């Protein structure tokens, strides 16, 4: 009966560990929400930030964060998708692939500060893009790419080989097999990856301080001309995101209500990510059902 | 006739699509490689300047512990010894990974082997949410909760490697967990079936079959976690104390490569020695992660061979 | 086949970059071509000065809607090197360009826009409210390590310094240490973090700009002189510095107009005080880059 007892003990330990982790997480999120939610109100969400008087809001920062996320995904997702498909389907098992994998891992382990400074020197200065949302989005792409690629590759690899064989035996081309069979099957996994990396993009501050900048000039939300500097859609304007705002408020701000702003912003950040997660999950399931025969 | 011949010889739509798809994928991977090369070249050229332009001895740079780039020592060499930062970075990263890994594996096993439904419903979203908490927020929670806690228990100021480890533990946990889950999920179902059919208990199956088969994946997960810990700047900077001293123990203020980099980079002037020296720190950061990657590759390969035989 | 693909990948990447540069170039040239009353000003540098300039800029733009001003942080070093390279119009700095290595101060024109006073702060529990200059120096050089030696309670002193190379530290060390080296200790680079650390760490001492001193930390008098604006204006309180806005060569067009606005009473009388800075107009003394103080 010894193995059975070991089994029981091990299961017990695992339950304890899971409980501990959940406790930590619940505590953390609870701490942020309890501290922050009382500070959130309509005024906080819809007014402009103040530099040194109380009562500032986070309207522009919140929008900037979302806009930056969308831009980053637009740039990085197709590239990561292509690279992921390459690694999962085309790459041969040789030293070239090895080098490619290693370099992707290296890219992912770069500290975000370094990515930010690289972006600052290359995009902001050399390419003359200035402190802008686009610079920020490209800088975030740098470190979003490896995570996303890796995840897509793994999701694709976890699709049983049978599916691929079935596709090919039906006379489908490689590309058709990949796009019509393997990718839809791997979609939930890919979406999880996108969500995970979006979370990081959303919370990233260090890489953005030097690329997207730390100021949020007032923009007009009725100006839809993306080439106009005052338009909210203009990707060439500087934009302070929510995470950068939290950092700034905490480190240098002289606003009397800095604490309320930072805890409120943190709570908003968490809530937005929560909404985003649930939404993406819902859409993911929907697409999965639509693209495959699964019910 | 010609019409038919042409049609037959022409590559089919599927083939063309195939070729196009392949090209797109190659382009994407090419782009990434270009990017990596670009960044590597950039950091390397910046980081090497300390040694080529300012004539600092490489060995001295990594083995001495006096960091005062603004001053010269008695022989006229700039004093840039990065050893304290290197030691601290290593300790924080290793400790954080060491603490986080058992937790991560436990949670991952729970999510894949024990209670997949609850795992997916409850744990998955929470873990994804955790990734989204900005490092700044972690830093401030660390500063307002962990540092006083450590001070209360161990005395001293509370700033130091231990606080850094605890903050990083929470930060790398989701990374390691979600990647471990992926690699456990990738273990083929028939391994489990075979093991259970042989009469193994669930734990025996997990321990002797699944974890073994997933070892390379788990190692990768740990490395990714370590990479995040290694590169984390803002959160660590707030709790580690930023003192460029050799860490005497786990609760004395210390400074990591990243915390030094973040603190000082804005205050130095591009092209001067203090700035170059900071880029050398970034280069060390890069080389260390390269080294970790190699290590994992090595272990991963050996693991694979064992599985095959 | 494979080689071809790699080549095409490289070409594509090149094209991508080219398009990006093309876009941004056309943009910047279009905005800089029409000068005079319109234009784009970027001011980069000191994070301490940033809120003031930001607020001033947004007030300024109300009357000059054609001038767009971007204000960024990044640190004094970044500001100075950027303005020297000519990549930005204004470099904000807490520190004289002369005292930064790698900066050719002769090429830059200094515009002093405010004065910031700094004071040592200690944790409230230490029971210390006044120190002599000599005691302060000994604390920061590591010769005094217990608060009981300076009249406080028996508690170890935890020195929290500012980041090496930061303007705040340079000012403090010039005024207090007189060329001696500070003890190796914790370093923090932002006022907000220092404030939090001193507030919560028993036995901690550091220094803060006046605007960050609140009732949660204890500001320390030196030789019984209180850290007040009035004492800074007469140099009775010796730890203060200018906030600089540097331009490369004389400022022109929009930049000149903006800098003139920074010096106007609208900014100096109202905003500067609100930020916790001291107006440059109120100063009865002046300091040069070497730290020599003279009557105005």
Please tell me the pTM assigned to this model. Answer: 0.80
In a 13 Å sphere around the CA of B39, the CA atoms on its Cβ side amount to 29
Torsion of CA B234, B240, B242, B248, to 10 degrees: -150
What's the pLDDT band for B75 if we cut at 50, 70, 90?
low
Interface check for B122 against chain A (CB to CB < 8 A): the answer is yes
Interface check for B11 against chain A (CB to CB < 8 A): the answer is no
Contact status, residue B211 vs residue B147, Cβ threshold 8 Å: no
The two structure tokens encoding residue C24:
């941004």
**Set of chain A residues whose Cβ sits within 8 Å of the Cβ of C192:** 249-253, 258
Does C80 sit within 8 Å of B30, measured CB to CB? no
H-state helical runs in chain B: 2-9, 13-52, 58-63, 83-109, 116-118, 124-132, 135-141, 147-154, 161-185, 189-197, 202-204, 211-231, 234-240, 257-265, 273-308
Q: Who's near A203: CB < 8 A, 6+ residues apart?
A: A243, A269, A273, B131, B132, B133, B134, B135, B136, B137
- Distance separating alpha carbons of residues A271 and A217, to the nearest angstrom: 25
Task: Give the residue from A83, A191, C5 showing the smallest Cα distance to B35.
Answer: A83
Share of chain A above pLDDT 90, in %: 0
State residue A121's pLDDT score: 79
Of C25, C68, C189, the CB nearest to A128: C25
Q: Is B66 exposed, middle or buried (0-12, 13-18, 19+ CB in 10 A)?
A: middle
Of C24, C51, C74, the CB nearest to A51: C51
Interface check for B267 against chain C (CB to CB < 8 A): the answer is yes
Strands C108-122 and C158-162: unpaired
Tokens 């934009």 belong to: A239
Q: Who's near A147: CB < 8 A, 6+ residues apart?
A: A108, A193, A196, A197, A200
Interface check for B255 against chain C (CB to CB < 8 A): the answer is yes
Find the closest chain A residue to B39 by CA distance.
A118
Determine which of B38-42, C204-208, C243-247 has the lowest per-residue pLDDT on average. Answer: B38-42
Q: What kind of fold does domain A40-294 have according to CATH?
A: MetI-like fold (1.10.3720)
* DSSP-derived 3-state class of residue C44: strand
What's the pLDDT band for C11 if we cut at 50, 70, 90?
very low
Of A52, A127, A229, the CB nearest to C68: A229
Shortest distance between the Cα of C48 and any Cα of chain A, in A, equals 6
For chain A, the chains sharing at least 3 beta-carbon pairs closer than 8 angstroms are: B, C
Does C17 sit within 8 Å of A127, measured CB to CB? yes
Asked if this assembly's ipTM is beyond 0.90, the reply is no
- Distance separating alpha carbons of residues A110 and B40, to the nearest angstrom: 10
Does A213 sit within 8 Å of C87, measured CB to CB? no
User: Distances from the Cα of B91 to the Cαs of A33, A81, A153, B226, B247, in angstroms?
Assistant: 32, 36, 32, 11, 10
- What digits encode the pLDDT tens for the residues B172-223? 898 899 889 888 888 888 888 898 899 888 888 888 888 888 888 888 888 8
For chain C, the chains sharing at least 3 beta-carbon pairs closer than 8 angstroms are: A, B
The two structure tokens encoding residue B281:
């720190």
- What digits encode the pLDDT tens for the residues B230-250? 888 788 888 888 787 777 777
State residue B299's pLDDT score: 67
**pLDDT at residue C32 tops 70:** no
- What digits encode the pLDDT tens for the residues C232-260? 888 889 888 889 999 988 888 888 889 99
Of C81, C164, C197, the CB nearest to B270: C81
- What digits encode the pLDDT tens for the residues A81-116? 888 888 888 888 788 888 888 788 777 777 777 788
State residue C246's pLDDT score: 92
Contact status, residue C116 vs residue C278, Cβ threshold 8 Å: yes
């Amino acid at each position: 009966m010894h193995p059975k007892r070991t089994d029981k003990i091990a299961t017990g330990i695992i339950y304890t560990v899971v409980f501990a982790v959940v406790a930590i997480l619940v505590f953390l999120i609870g701490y942020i929400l309890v501290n922050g939610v009382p500070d959130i109100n309509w005024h906080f969400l819809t007014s402009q930030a103040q530099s040194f008087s109380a009562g500032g809001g986070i309207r522009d920062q919140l929008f900037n964060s979302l806009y930056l996320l969308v831009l980053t995904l637009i740039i990085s997702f197709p590239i990561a998708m292509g690279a992921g498909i390459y690694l999962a389907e085309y790459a041969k098992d040789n030293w070239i692939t090895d080098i490619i994998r290693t370099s992707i891992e290296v890219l992912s382990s770069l500290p975000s500060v370094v990515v930010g400074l690289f972006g600052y020197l290359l995009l902001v200065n050399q390419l003359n893009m200035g402190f802008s949302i686009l610079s920020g989005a490209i800088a975030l792409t740098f470190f979003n790419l490896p995570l996303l690629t890796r995840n897509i590759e793994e999701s694709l690899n976890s699709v049983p080989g049978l599916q691929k064989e079935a596709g090919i035996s039906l006379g489908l081309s490689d590309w058709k097999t990949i796009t019509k069979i393997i990718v839809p099957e791997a979609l939930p996994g890919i979406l999880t990856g996108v969500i995970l990396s979006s979370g990081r993009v959303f919370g990233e501050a260090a890489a953005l301080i030097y690329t997207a900048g730390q100021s949020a000039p007032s923009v007009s939300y009725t100006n839809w001309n993306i080439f106009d500097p005052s338009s909210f859609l203009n990707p060439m304007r500087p934009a302070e995101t929510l995470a950068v705002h939290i950092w700034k408020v905490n480190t240098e701000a002289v606003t009397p209500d800095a604490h309320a702003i930072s805890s409120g912003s943190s709570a908003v950040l968490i809530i937005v990510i929560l909404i985003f997660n649930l939404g993406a999950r819902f859409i993911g399931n929907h697409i999965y059902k639509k693209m495959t025969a699964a019910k | 006739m010609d019409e038919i011949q042409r049609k037959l010889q022409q590559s089919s739509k599927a083939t063309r699509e195939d070729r196009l798809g392949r090209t797109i994928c190659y382009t994407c991977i090419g782009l990434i490689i270009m990017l990596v090369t670009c960044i590597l070249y950039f950091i390397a050229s910046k980081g090497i300047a300390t040694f080529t332009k300012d004539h600092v001895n490489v060995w001295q740079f990594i083995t001495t512990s006096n960091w005062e780039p603004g001053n010269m020592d008695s022989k006229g060499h700039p004093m840039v010894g990065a050893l304290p930062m290197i030691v601290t970075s290593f300790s924080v990263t290793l400790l954080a990974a060491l603490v986080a890994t058992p937790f991560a594996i436990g949670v991952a096993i729970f999510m894949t082997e024990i209670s997949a439904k609850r795992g997916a419903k409850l744990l998955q979203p929470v873990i994804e949410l955790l990734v989204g908490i900005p490092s700044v927020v972690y830093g401030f929670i660390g500063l307002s909760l962990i540092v006083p806690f450590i001070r209360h228990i161990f005395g001293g100021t509370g700033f130091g490697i231990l606080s850094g480890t605890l903050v990083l533990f929470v930060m790398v946990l989701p990374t390691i967990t979600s990647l471990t889950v992926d690699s456990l999920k990738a273990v083929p179902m028939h391994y489990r079936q075979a093991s259970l059919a042989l009469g193994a208990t669930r734990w025996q199956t997990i321990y002797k079959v699944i974890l073994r088969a997933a070892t390379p994946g788990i190692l990768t997960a740990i490395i990714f976690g370590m990479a995040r810990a290694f590169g984390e700047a803002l959160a660590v900077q707030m709790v580690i104390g930023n003192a460029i001293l050799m860490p005497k123990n786990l609760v004395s203020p210390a400074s990591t490569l990243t915390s030094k980099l973040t603190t000082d980079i804005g205050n130095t002037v591009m092209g001067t020695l203090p700035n170059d020296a900071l880029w050398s720190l970034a280069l060390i950061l890069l080389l260390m992660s390269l080294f970790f990657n190699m290590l994992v590759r090595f272990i991963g390969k050996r693991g694979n061979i064992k599985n095959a035989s | 086949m494979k080689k071809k693909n790699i080549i095409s990948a490289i070409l594509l990447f090149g094209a991508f970059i080219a398009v990006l540069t093309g876009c941004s170039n056309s943009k910047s040239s279009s905005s800089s071509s029409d000068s005079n009353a319109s234009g784009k000003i970027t001011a980069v540098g000191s994070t301490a000065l940033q809120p003031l300039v930001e607020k001033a800029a947004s007030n300024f733009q109300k009357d000059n809607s054609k001038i767009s001003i971007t204000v960024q942080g990044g640190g004094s070093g970044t500001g100075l090197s950027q303005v020297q390279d000519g990549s930005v119009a204004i470099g904000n700095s807490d520190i004289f360009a002369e005292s930064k290595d790698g900066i050719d101060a002769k090429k830059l024109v200094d515009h002093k826009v405010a004065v910031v006073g700094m004071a040592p702060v200690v944790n409230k529990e230490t029971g210390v409210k006044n120190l002599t200059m000599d005691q302060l120096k000994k604390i920061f050089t590591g010769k005094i390590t217990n608060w009981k030696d300076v009249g406080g309670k028996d508690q170890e002193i935890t020195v929290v310094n500012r980041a090496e190379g930061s303007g705040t530290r340079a000012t403090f060390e010039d005024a207090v240490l007189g060329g001696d080296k500070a003890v190796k200790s914790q370093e923090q680079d932002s006022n907000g973090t220092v404030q939090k650390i001193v507030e919560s760490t028993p036995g901690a001492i550091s220094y803060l700009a006046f605007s960050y001193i609140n009732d949660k930390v204890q500001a320390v008098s030196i030789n019984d002189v209180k850290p007040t604006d009035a004492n800074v204006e007469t140099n009775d309180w010796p730890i203060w510095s200018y906030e600089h806005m540097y331009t490369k060569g004389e400022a022109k067009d929009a930049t000149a107009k903006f800098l003139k606005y920074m010096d106007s009473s609208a900014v100096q009388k109202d905003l500067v005080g609100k930020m916790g800075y001291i107006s440059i107009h109120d100063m009865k003394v002046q300091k040069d880059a070497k730290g020599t103080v003279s009557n105005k």
